[in-house]
Amino acid sequence: MTETEFEPKIVAFVCNWCSYGGADFAGNMRLQYPSNVKLIRVMCSGRVDPEFVMEAFRGGADGVMILGCHPRDCHYLEGNYNALKRYTMLKPLLDQFCIEQDRLYLDWVSASEGEKFARVVREVNERITQLGPLDWGKVLDARQGGEV
Amino acid sequence: MKAKERIGFFLCECSQNISGTVDVRKIKDELKELPDVVTAEVTNLYCSKEGKIEIIKSIEEHNLTKVVIGACSVKQHEKTFMAVLEEAGLNPYFMQLVNIREHVAWVTSDKDKATAKALALLKAAYHRVYFHEAFEKKEIDATADVLVVGGGLAGCEAALNLASEKRKVYLVETRPSLGGQASKYESSFPSLECCSCMILPILQKVVENPHIELLNYSDVEDVVGFFGNFSVTVNKKAKYVKPDKCIGCNECVAPCPVEIPNENDDFLGSRKAIYFQVAGATPFIPVIDKENCLRFKGQDCTKCRDACMFDAIDYEDKDEKIKLPVGAVVLATGFQSFDPSLIPNLNFSSGTEVYTSLQFERLISNTGPTSGKLVKRDGTKPKSLVMVHCVGSRDKRYKNYCSNVCCSVLLKMSSQILKENMAEGIQITHLYRDLTIGSTGMEEMYEKLSDEGVRFIKISNPNDIVLQPEDGKVHVVLPEKTMTADMVVLATAMIPNKKAEKLIDMLMLSRDEEGFVMPTHRKIDALATPIEGVFVVGSAGYPKDITHSVIDGSAAAGKIGSELQPGKKLEIETLISTIDEEKCSGCKTCISICPYKAIGYDSEKGVSVINEILCRGCGTCAVACPSNAITVRHFENNAILAELGGLL
């Protein structure tokens, strides 16, 4: 597979109240975005366990997105803040696993932001495509080579 | 590992909306090959009457245990299809709705890619439904009785709208009488209608309502429990006056030798130790203020008892604590004035001719310290009056917000002075930054005042002016010039009632940076709070005028009335979190993270316990739990991970 043909696998965890609705709205507006980004609905971005993110990378995802309600808009008041804290904590740890930090993406998409939903999906897809596949052979080699 | 299931797929064409892009028939054939799948079907419109019947028939015919539906958004039809499963005798949670319309067909023009994506999502759902468990709706007993804290207009309105044959309302007011801040005003804007005439009938209705238990001169000391089942402890402070004997003749007040600043006049005038909150107060029964009464300071004073012709004075009266079971709480604790002495350049202190707007309301009120005569402290009539807007407001150094009401209040007071000719030939000058006079009739009032010679001078920030009180006058120093006024009125910001802070904390409510109670949502759910069953009305939420406070009171009553019906059980959220006691280490991490204070601690067992009435199922506690002891119903780790695995 050449670099241009590479189509990354991207999983997006979306909260039920805002970002799932944002994706719905993108659909209503018939906005086109890459089909390789697939959604998993959770009730709140605060439900996204860092374990889910690591499991996604382990299972073959090249990129993971977490989309929640905007600050102050969380249906559960503070869940998105918890998501932000966990994301902030998890991101630097990815380096230890030789996973580029840019493979994990957090953003806020409201239920009326169909445009934004489609845009961030396109942007993240572009970014992950440029990074190329998450190469676990490389990751393991690097670990064994003591680079970590 | 996986239980033997009989799984059925139902793929909706949504006319051409889905099948125009997603090849549902091709997908159907592929899905049929998956283990445990006994049927995969396609129809034109599953949300139609015929479509629903097809699903029900298929569930019965194939004896399905789990169902995956490929159709539209969960926002549109999850409830629809849950009801279909229920009708077919399946637990409604044995279903996963996959959105192959908004999230696939409508956003992917390439048919092959759309079909592949839809297939991947459906397979993910297939892996997920193995972990779906059955959940039943649950109901709990609840009391429909309500506690209202605060006897201002918002609280009274809530109480009056809630009280009925089947619903008792306990109205707790910390002061001796009802009416709150509105009972201090002589007139109201924009009509200059007599405020007492307007509010007294409302207060009287409260007192006379057999379904309202008025607990005046009382404080809420403790609140425990949850929506439908609160237990409230109220301390009824000793009044030392027997309400069944006192007729409100007022004879006891004058003989009292004590004189202290009167809080009802914002400390402008004075009162006795035995006192009525205000002339014409409701209820019209005095109380003895124990803090200041000579008797309770060890002196043998009996002057009030000697004066009483009805044997109504009872020095032996004691505080009484009572417990009240209620289902909901309405917080109507109101506002107080920002303290202008916090702005050093205003040189605000008592004894000068500078007044806060609340003090000035009392000064021009017939029930105030001068019986409504607009006079300076030396008894002479003022010839000039400067009214300063936005004091302590809209300024990062003090309060950042606009109190909405103050501009209208200053215009009202100006109108009242002129209309009643309270001081012949008085020159009134307003120093303002912007006029916020959105209420009906206020623009006309402003125009009329301008026509009548009231001056409106726009300045950059009223908090920067310098006030220099001197010999019964005040020099008002502006950047460009200095004017001298006989009296100055400061429209101080409305701030949350500080006395309510303890109760707000007790109820575990959040306060915003300015101290106002945070509702669930400032726009679309501005009376409910994150603590279910607790509502905030009037200026406890943010500064409001009488109109909006009264509307709040009625609206909260409506919300409570619809949610908490006498004799009816409360349906509680099904998809909540649960704690595995075996795994819980009792670290309490979940307790601190729960936004609804729904998690408590069982000290005997040493484990955290989720209150299933308060939990709303967000699942953030499950992520925080270091022992993996918390499960979120329908969004369990293994269900989510199965879906994830199916996608990848």
A86 touches chain B (CB under 8 A): yes
pLDDT of B175 above 90 = yes
- Rounded Cα–Cα distance for residues B576 and A22 (Å): 24
Does residue B206 or residue A140 have the better pLDDT? B206
> Average of pLDDT values for B610-636?
94
Map residue B120 onto helix, strand or coil: helix
For residues A3 and A132, the answer to whether their CB atoms sit within 8 Å is: yes
Average pLDDT, integer, range B193-209:
95
Reported as type and span, the H/E element at residue B223 is: strand B218-226
The token pair at B77 is: 């039809």
- Measured between beta carbons, which residues in chain B are less than 8 angstroms from residue A21? 75
Percent of chain B past pLDDT 70, that is, above it, reads 100
As a whole number, mean pLDDT of residues B166-176 equals 97
Whether pLDDT at B222 is above 50: yes
What are A58-90's pLDDT values in tens digits? 999 999 999 999 998 888 989 999 999 999 999
Rounded mean pLDDT, B115-129: 98
Beta-carbon pairs below 8 A across chains A and B: 121
Q: How far apart are the first and last CA of chain A?
A: 28
What residues in B contact A38, CB-CB < 8 Å?
117, 120-121, 124, 647
- Residue B50 pLDDT > 60: yes
Q: Å from B501 to nearest chain A CA?
A: 21
Contact B21, A35 (CB under 8 A): no
Nearest-angstrom CA–CA distance, B553 and B544: 12
Contact B103 A43 (CB under 8 A): no
- Angle B253-B258-B263 (CA atoms, 0-180°, nearest 5)? 80
Q: What is the pLDDT of residue B330?
A: 98
- The region that residue A3 occupies, defined by phi over 0 for left and psi between -120 and 50 for alpha, beta otherwise, is alpha
Contact B222, B323 (CB under 8 A): no
Tell if the CB–CB gap between A20 and B117 is shorter than 8 Å: no
What integer pLDDT is reported at residue B316 of this predicted model?
A: 96
Phi-psi sector, B394: left (phi>0), alpha (psi -120 to 50), beta: left
Contact B275, B259 (CB under 8 A): no
pLDDT tens column, B468-490: 999 899 999 998 899 999 999 99
Range B179-200 average pLDDT: 93
| Confidence band of B98 (pLDDT split at 50, 70, 90) | very high
Task: Identify the pLDDT of residue B393.
Answer: 97
Determine contact: B508 vs chain A, CB below 8 A: no
Pick from B492, B422, B429, B488: which is nearest to B458 by CA?
Answer: B429
Q: What is the pLDDT of residue A148?
A: 42
- Tokens 């739990």 belong to which residue? B625
Q: What's the sign of the alpha-carbon dihedral B114, B119, B125, B128?
A: negative
A120–chain B Cβ distance below 8 A for any pair: no
Average pLDDT over residues B587-597: 93
pLDDT in tens, B424-473: 999 999 999 999 998 899 999 999 999 999 999 999 999 999 999 998 99
Q: Which of B103, B110, B640 sits opposite A27 (nearest CB)?
A: B103
Chain B residues with CB under 8 Å of A79 CB are 595, 618, 620
- Identify the H or E element spanning B474: strand B473-477
Q: Does the CB of B597 have a partner CB in chain A at under 8 Å?
A: no
Among residues B397, B382, B310, the alpha carbon closest in space to that of B345 is found at: B397
C-alpha angle B588-B592-B594 in degrees, rounded to nearest 5: 110
pLDDT at B115 over 90: yes
Average pLDDT for B376-394: 97
Query: In this complex, is the C-beta atom of A41 within 8 Å of any C-beta atom belonging to chain B?
Result: yes
Q: Please indicate whether, in this complex, the C-beta atoms of B632 and A75 are within 8 angstroms of each other.
A: no
Which residues lie across from B607 on neighbouring strands? Answer: B602
- Tell me how close the Cα of B587 comes to any Cα of chain A, in angstroms: 18
Greatest Cα pair distance, chain A, in angstroms, is: 50
| φ/ψ of residue B265, rounded to 5 | -100, 20
Tell me how far apart the alpha carbons of residues B484 and B449 are, in angstroms, rounded to a whole number.
Answer: 21
Residue in B107, B109, B117 closest to A27 by CB: B107
Amino acid letter for position A46:
G
Q: Under a CB-based contact definition with an 8 Å cutoff, are residues A6 and A133 in contact?
A: yes
Mean pLDDT of chain B: 95
Residue in this structure with the two tokens 């000719």, named with its chain if needed: B421
Q: What angle do CA B543, B545, B549 make, to 5 degrees?
A: 85
* Closest C-alpha among B240, B146, B217 to residue B562: B146
Do residue A39 and residue B103 have CB atoms under 8 angstroms apart? Answer: yes
Shortest alpha-carbon distance between residue A147 and chain B (Å): 28
pLDDT grade, residue B225 (50/70/90)?
confident
Find chain A residues with C-beta within 8 A of B108's C-beta: 32, 35
Using a CB–CB cutoff of 8 Å, tell me whether B279 touches chain A. Answer: no
> What is residue A96's predicted lDDT score, i.e. its pLDDT?
85
- CA B484/CA B142 separation, integer angstroms: 63
pLDDT at B280 (0 to 100): 83
> So what's the pLDDT on residue B451?
97
Closest Cα in chain B, distance from residue A39 (Å): 8
Mutation choice for A interface testing from B21, B74, B102 by most A CBs within 10 A: B102
Mutate to test the interface with B, among A17, A49, A62 (most CBs of B within 10 A): A49
Q: Has residue A136 got a pLDDT over 80?
A: no
Q: Kindly tell me the burial class for residue A95, based on how many C-beta atoms sit within 10 Å of its own C-beta (0-12, 13-18, 19 or more).
A: exposed
Residue A5 touches chain B, beta carbons under 8 Å: no
What predicted TM-score, i.e. pTM, was given to this entire model?
0.77
For A147, the token pair is: 């680079």
pLDDT of B109 over the 60 cut: yes
**pLDDT band with cut points at 50, 70 and 90 for residue B571:** confident
Query: What are the tokens at B280?
Result: 């014409």
Instruction: Using a CB–CB cutoff of 8 Å, tell me whether A69 touches chain B.
Output: no
Name the pLDDT band for B509 (thresholds 50, 70, 90). confident
For residue range B511-526, list pLDDT tens digits in order: 888 999 999 888 899 9
**pLDDT (tens digit, 9 = 90+) per residue, B249-300?**
999 999 999 999 999 988 888 999 999 998 888 999 999 999 999 999 999 9
The bridge status of strand B599-602 relative to strand B607-610 is: antiparallel
Q: Residue B643 is nearest to which of A40, A43, A47, comparing CB atoms?
A: A40
pLDDT of residue B3: 56
Chain B neighbors of A52, CB-CB under 8 A: 637, 640-641, 644
Please list every residue in chain A whose beta carbon sits closer than 8 Å to the beta carbon of residue B116: 35
Distance from CA of A142 to the nearest CA of B (A): 24
pLDDT of amino acid A142: 67
The DSSP line for B541-580 is TS---HHHHHHHHHHHHHHHHHHS-TT-PEEE-SS-EEE-
Residue burial B193-228, b: 16+ Cβ < 10 Å; e: rest: eebbebbbebbeebbebeebbbbbbbbbeebebbbb
Question: Which residues of chain A have a CB within 8 Å of the CB of B617?
Answer: 43
pLDDT for the residue numbered B244: 93
C-alpha B233/C-alpha B165 separation (Å) is: 23
pLDDT at res. B345: 97
Are B3 and B130 in contact by the 8 Å Cβ rule? The answer is yes
Q: What is the pLDDT of residue B226?
A: 87
Which letter does DSSP use for residue B130 in this model?
A: T
Task: Determine the pLDDT at residue B1.
Answer: 47
